[in-house]
Amino acid sequence: DDVSFWGSQKYYVQMMVEKIDVRNVFHDITKEYHIPISNTRGWSDMLSRNKLIQRFKEAEEIGLIPVLLYYGDFDPAGIKIAETLKKNIKDLEKATKWNPKNLIIDHFGLTIDFIDENNILCISSCLSSNLLRK
């Protein structure tokens, strides 16, 4: 089980990616370290968030600090998703009986160099975005 693998650590890490192509880039490393990875497909649905929450809840019960790595675009939509992830998780607090107050979310993202190095499919508007060139 993914949570028990992390039992001797300080943190419990899960990962979300905005694009399915990027998920494949992280497949080997997330598998090696038992890091659950999901694709938000833009915005994550309630079922995906619930699964994520249940794992974080289990991790906190054994004393681990929950960490969500969010790999998304640094375009307006990707930034908005990153900014609202914690709220979207907190919206399920009553139903899941888990408060994400200790949740650490680390947003890192797609740059033009990463796209080129990993042969990720990108539409032309993505390539012309000034945000990706930073």
Q: Which residue from 57, 50, 59, 69 is spatially nearest to 5, judged by alpha carbons?
A: 59
Give the pLDDT confidence of 13-70 residue by residue, as tens digits.
999 998 888 888 899 999 999 999 988 765 567 888 899 999 999 999 999 999 999 9
Give the model's pLDDT for residue 39. Answer: 85
What is the model's pTM? Answer: 0.79
Q: How many other β-carbons are positioned within 10 Å of the β-carbon of residue 11?
A: 11
Q: How many other β-carbons are positioned within 10 Å of the β-carbon of residue 8?
A: 7
d(C-alpha 128, C-alpha 41), whole Å: 21
Give the pLDDT confidence of 80-115 residue by residue, as tens digits.
888 888 898 999 999 999 999 999 999 887 667 777
Helix or strand holding residue 125 (H, E): helix 124-128
Give the model's pLDDT for residue 134. Answer: 46
The residue ranking higher by pLDDT, 134 or 11, is 11
Residue 59, both tokens: 């991790």
